[in-house]
Amino acid sequence: MTVETHSASLHLVDPELRAALDAFPTFDLNEDLLPVMRAQGFGVDVPPPQGPAAGVAVERITVPGRDGGPDVSCLLYTPPGRTGQSGAYLHIHGGGYVLGDAAMSELSNRSLAAAIGCILLSVDYRLAPETRWPGAVEDCYAALGWLHANANRLGVDHQRIAIGGESAGGGHAASLALVARDRGEYRIRHQHLIYPMIDDRTGSTVPALPYAGDFVWTAASNAFGWSALLGHPAGTGEPPRNAVPARVEDLSGLPPTFLGTAALDLFVGENLDYGRRLIAAGVPTELVVAPGAYHGFNGFAPDAAVSRGFNSASLEALRRAIG
């Protein structure tokens, strides 16, 4: 594991976010490190839920795969005291397409479901490189279909189903929105993209913006994650349709979007460009950039002022969409 203690952009990091870098050292992910990371678990230890989040019921369910595909394991979150119909949020976890599971986001998903009063379904999609594109997005599509099929039983308004995720989860969510648009089976009210991983060229065949990507998720890790998902070197060739959202020419007809990113994140350039292109395509888009922040900052240092502001904007956007 490569640990970075100094970088060209350290002086730009918000002072309240610096200590968290020591708890989550920067590494360059590769095929040798991947099994070690999986064995150790990806993420940080979190305290048990408190307050309203503690009252949210969590159930492990199995969703039938699409068109004979394998069944999909998911976590279903149900807040207490619901009356009438509510919205629903399909959550897709991060992990560079190769790490993580639905359980790693349990505390934040409990909190979100309690704050909005919505049903939340988090998908344990299949990981790369064992499963290449489009396996993971088909898992997410199956979960989206299950939400629609079971909306009445769950007390969910069919017209208020949103999708979203962080990092690779945001990338899968952006792909899912494109796939759903093209198939025309299920309506999506809103896509919620938190520093999404949406361009395989970043850091491989296209340089990242200056000062971006020094911390947490590097260009080398990014190239590894994308190569694992696509089955060929990142940034090369013509990717399958909708596999790389930033390389999809037509973004029209996508759902209203919240896109949050960070000024020092490797993804900031691709995120800003995607937001610009969504706006140009007539998609209602809210774009938030956290200054002095790196990839995953709001989870690593949630009490920092910049994290509180970012998380508040994210929550309010989702509440407006489905609350």
Work out the pLDDT band at 8, boundaries 50, 70, 90.
confident
Task: Tell how strand 257-262 and strand 285-290 pair up.
Answer: parallel
Q: Compute the chain's Rg from CA coordinates.
A: 18
Mean per-residue pLDDT, 91-109: 96
**Alpha helices (runs of H) in the chain, residue ranges in sequence order:** 15-23, 33-40, 106-116, 135-149, 151-154, 168-183, 219-230, 268-280, 297-300, 305-322
Residue 50 in this model has a pLDDT that exceeds 80? no
SS3 193: strand
Q: How many domains does the chain have?
A: 1
Selected catalytic residue, list 91, 295, 307, 314: 295
Per the structure, the complete domain to which residue 256 belongs is given by: 12-41+48-322
Q: Is residue 1 part of a domain?
A: no
- Give the residue carrying structure tokens 């994308």: 226
Return the structure tokens found at 302: 């949630």
Q: Is residue 187 part of a domain?
A: yes
pTM of the model: 0.95
Helix pair angle (15-23, 305-322), 10° resolution? 90
Ranked by mean pLDDT, which of 46-55, 80-89, 244-253 comes out on top? 244-253
Selected catalytic residue, list 73, 167, 175, 204: 167
Q: Is residue 75 part of a domain?
A: yes
Work out the pLDDT band at 1, boundaries 50, 70, 90.
very low
Cα–Cα distances (Å) from 66 to 72, 97, 143, in that order, read 9, 20, 9
| Phi (first) and psi of residue 211, to 5 degrees | 75, 0
Query: Beta partners for 60?
Result: 75
What is the maximal distance between C-alpha atoms in the chain? 54
pLDDT value for 23 = 80
- Give the residue carrying structure tokens 């070690």: 36
Does residue 164 contact residue 176 with C-beta atoms inside 8 Å?
Answer: no
The amino acid occupying position 266 is: L
Q: Is residue 164 part of a domain?
A: yes
Mean of the per-residue pLDDT values of the chain: 94
SS3 96: coil
Residue 2 in this model has a pLDDT that exceeds 70? no
Count of alpha carbons within 13 Å of 84, Cβ hemisphere only? 4
Residue 5 in this model has a pLDDT that exceeds 50? no
Mean per-residue pLDDT, 159-177: 98
Work out the pLDDT band at 45, boundaries 50, 70, 90.
low
Contacts of 226 (CB under 8 A, 6+ apart): 97, 197, 200, 204, 234, 235, 244
Residue 274 in this model has a pLDDT that exceeds 90? yes
**Catalytic residue flag (residue 265):** yes
Q: Is residue 76 part of a domain?
A: yes
41-55, 125-139, 302-316: segment of lowest average pLDDT: 41-55
Q: Is residue 146 part of a domain?
A: yes
Q: Is residue 6 part of a domain?
A: no
Mean per-residue pLDDT, 162-170: 98
Q: Is residue 18 part of a domain?
A: yes
Residue 150 in this model has a pLDDT that exceeds 80? yes
pLDDT value for 51 = 75
CATH code of 95's domain:
3.40.50.1820
Selected catalytic residue, list 101, 139, 200, 265: 265
User: What confidence tens digit (pLDDT) does each residue in 244-269 have?
Assistant: 999 999 999 999 999 999 999 999 99
Cα gap 250→216, rounded to integer Å: 31
Percent of the chain surpassing pLDDT 90: 89
Ranked by mean pLDDT, which of 6-20, 22-36, 41-55, 63-77 comes out on top? 63-77
Cα gap 52→70, rounded to integer Å: 35
pLDDT value for 321 = 97
Cα gap 93→100, rounded to integer Å: 7
